[in-house]
Amino acid sequence: MGLKVYVDGKLVEKQDAKISVFDHGLLYGDGVFEGIRSYNGLVFKLTEHIDRLYESAHTLMLKIPLSKKQLIKAVVDTLKVNRLKDAYIRLVITRGVGDLGLDPRKCPLPSIIIITDKITLYPKKLYDEGLRIITVPTVRNLPEALNPQIKSLNYLNNIMAKIEAINSGVEEAIMLDSMGFVAECTGDNLFIVKNRELCTPPQYVGTLRGITRDAVMDLAKKSRIAVRECVLTRHEVFNAEEAFLTGTAAELIPVVNVDGRQIGTGRPGKTTLSLLQGFRRVTRTDGIKYKV
C-alpha cells in the first residue's frame, strides 16, 4: 500500500491526489498552509499550528469548511492510515475551484489537503558543524502589502531569496525588511546570542510568528536564559557570540558564518547546543498523541 493523501474528506493514493487547474490556490496562490511535525506518535504543537492556520485564513476571509476539532482529527487520521510515527505534515487550504478571474466569490468551496511524509531539510553534518548563510537583496514583504504573519500559498518572496542563496552556494539566507533591519530567513526565524542573552527580531519588522520560535523562547525562559525580541541590524548579527535558525522542518540549526564573517568561535555554541538538546526533549512531550 502506498502513501495516502487527504483531499477534501477522502484518503486517496498519492498518484491520485489531484486538484483542478481552476483552483485559485494554483492560479493565484490564494490559500494558506502549515508545516507540522510528529515525533514518535506525538504531533508537536498541533493545536498551535491549527490556531495559526485559522488566523491566516481569517485574514484572507477564507472560511475553512471544518472545525478545528475536525481538522485535528483529519490530520491524525492521515498519519494513522500511513502508519507514520515520525513525519512532516503539510496542511493546505486553498480558495477552491473558480474561474480565470481574481474574484474569490467565484470559488464556492475551499479545498483541504493533508500530506504526511518524511522530510530532511539539512544533513546531520550541518547540525554538527553549523550553517554558512548570506544576506540577500530581496527584502521581506511589507506588512502593508502581504503581511508575513499570513502563512499563505504565495511564497514567491521567500523563493526569490532562496534562489539568491542557492546561486551564492549557501543553503539559507537572511532577508531584511524595507528599513534594512533583519527580518527572518527564507524559511526560518533567526536568533543570536550575545552577553548571555537570546535575541530574535520582533514580529512587527516582518517575521512570521514561528511555532518553533515560540517553543525555543519558552524553553530558554525555563532554562533561565534571558530572552527578548529586539530589532537587529547585520552589525549585531556579525558580532554575535552564537546564532541559530528555528523552523518546523529545520527544527533548530546552528549558524557559524554570515556574509563571510565568522560567528563566535566558528562552531556551534554552548547555548545553541543546550537549546537544541532541550528542544529535542520537548518535541517528545508537547502535542497530541496518536497510535499507528
What residues are annotated to the active site?
151
First CA to last CA across the chain, in angstroms? 15
In eight-state DSSP terms, residue 66 is S
54 backbone φψ class: left, alpha, beta (φ>0; ψ -120 to 50): alpha
Is residue 114 within 8 Å of residue 88, measured between CB atoms? Answer: no
**What percent of the chain is helix, strand and coil (3-state, nearest 5)?**
30, 30, 40
The number of C-alpha atoms within 13 Å of 272 and in the hemisphere containing its C-beta is: 30
Q: Where are the beta strands (DSSP E) in 9-104?
A: 10-13, 31-38, 42-44, 87-94
Residues 162-180, buried b or exposed e (16+ Cβ, 10 A)?
A: bebbeeeebbbbbbbbeee
Q: Which three cell numbers stand for residue 214?
A: 515560540
Classified as helix, coil or strand, 115 is strand
Question: Residue type for 58, please?
Answer: H
Q: How far apart are CA 49 and CA 66, in angstroms?
A: 15
Classified as helix, coil or strand, 152 is strand
83 vs 115, 116, 117, CA distance in Å?
13, 10, 10
Q: Give, in degrees to the nearest 5, the angle at Cα 176 between 258 and 268.
A: 30
Q: How far apart are CA 52 and CA 218, in angstroms?
A: 18
